[in-house]
Amino acid sequence: MTFEELVKRLEEIVATLESGNVKLDEVNKLFSEGAEITKKCYEVLNESKGKITVLREELGKLVEKPLN
């Protein structure tokens, strides 16, 4: 799944849980799925963070620097 698909599924889970029309066993299942999706989203974001660079102007030229 793409990051966007993960976020969309997480939003669906939240909406379902907020509806209040879910049995306890389904709540547990959805909560666990949401926790796994959240973990995966953090992994994707951290991986992407390492790939992003910031262009800065130093002494009249652009230099790539890692995003910290």
**Planar angle of CA 9, 7, 39, nearest 5 degrees:** 100
Indicate whether 7 pLDDT > 70: yes
pTM beyond 0.75: no
Indicate whether 27 pLDDT > 90: yes
User: Which is higher by pLDDT, 66 or 35?
Assistant: 35
What type of residue sits at position 14?
V
pLDDT at 56: 61
Average pLDDT over residues 34-57: 82
What is the chain's length?
Answer: 68
Indicate whether 2 pLDDT > 70: yes
Q: Which residues pair with 55 in a beta bridge?
A: 64
What does the block give as tokens for 57?
């102007």
Classify 56 as helix, strand or coil: strand
Say if residues 15 and 50 touch (Cβ distance below 8 Å).
no
